Amino acid sequence: MSATTATTAGAALAAATEVLAAAGCDTPRLDAEVLVADTLGIGRASLAADPERPVAGAEAEAIGERVRRRAAREPVAYIRGRRGFRRIELEVDRRVLIPRPETELLVEVALELPAGARVHEVGTGSGAVALALADERPDLRVSASDLSPDAVAVARANAARLDLDVAIEVADALPPRLARPGAAPDLVLANLPYVTDGEWDTLAPEIVGYEPRLALTSGPDGLDAIRALVAGCPPGTRLALEHGSQQGPAVRALLRDASTRRDLAGHDRVTEGRAP
Ligand SMILES: C[S@@+](CC[C@H](N)C(=O)[O-])C[C@H]1O[C@@H](n2cnc3c(N)ncnc32)[C@H](O)[C@@H]1O
């Protein structure tokens, strides 16, 4: 049975799961549940509780279209156009990286700042880190930037929709106004691209086919953007930098007083320290 001819939610779910499994998706049942429930405007719990819920023709067509996109390995977050991150929901599309759970660690570092501190996020993408921080700590003065004008447009739209007061600008590394001596914020946060150029072709089809390469790769060892950011910060500037699980020693070597935190999976993930 194809998802487009299904007449109940349970049948649509079964058909979608089968199509996504055949397409090689890692989590076909979960993806099918999310797409079917989202299209029907119900939660996954309601979908499970009421498999006999009738599915109208237009709904079946919409589910079929979304399942076809997922079978072509488009990420679920782009198909839904939304992704949750900590307490907020961000609108996301192919102009920005889909925020990852491990990036919440950057927010947690900044939550330790004293009241009123100034924080700037470099490489904000959808705005996930800066906006989650502004949402949880309205006392902080949060700003953000990104090299990509497309990403800045997405992040600004998210800030406006969520009614969060975060100024977001286009800049390569730290914006020049913050790079002047005495003007640096109390903490610079960054989840810059850190995949090596050589790894790009080995990544999942969901990433290579849909996510912006500018958000992911950064030179032969993956550290070009991080190195440039550190080099452009006034000496003594405090930074917290997300990086790959094998890059802790290399990132610590770029900073003074450096230490590395692990993510929930136990991998080196965020290194903090001061610009030399
Ligand atoms: C890994 S994504 C992170 C996006 C977002 N912070 C998140 O965690 O979901 C990296 C972001 O850095 C931006 N970027 C890449 N090189 C940059 C640079 N030299 N200066 C500023 N931003 C840069 C990309 O456009 C992209 O939005």
Tens digits of per-residue pLDDT, 200-220? Answer: 999 999 999 999 999 999 999
pLDDT in tens, 82-110: 999 999 999 999 999 999 999 999 999 99
Are the C-beta atoms of residues 111 and 132 closer than 8 Å to each other? Answer: no
27 C-alpha vs ligand 1 centroid, how far in Å? 27
Residue whose CA is at the smallest distance from ligand 1 atom 12:
123
Average pLDDT over residues 249-273: 97
pLDDT in tens, 126-169: 999 999 999 999 999 999 999 999 999 999 999 999 999 999 99
pLDDT band at 181, cuts 50/70/90? confident
191 C-alpha vs ligand 1 centroid, how far in Å? 6
Mean pLDDT of the chain: 96
Are the C-beta atoms of residues 214 and 193 closer than 8 Å to each other? Answer: yes
How buried is 154 (Cβ within 10 angstroms: 0-12 exposed, 13-18 middle, 19+ buried)? Answer: buried
How buried is 156 (Cβ within 10 angstroms: 0-12 exposed, 13-18 middle, 19+ buried)? Answer: middle
Distance CA 262, CA 167 (A): 30
pLDDT in tens, 238-247: 999 999 999 9
243 C-alpha vs ligand 1 centroid, how far in Å? 12
Question: Among residues 89, 82, 122, which one has the least CA distance to residue 106?
Answer: 122
pLDDT in tens, 183-202: 999 999 999 999 999 999 99
All structural domains of the chain: 3-72 (1.10.8.10), 96-274 (3.40.50.150)
pTM above 0.85, yes or no: yes
pLDDT in tens, 20-76: 999 999 999 999 999 999 999 999 999 999 999 999 999 999 999 999 999 999 999
pLDDT band at 5, cuts 50/70/90? low
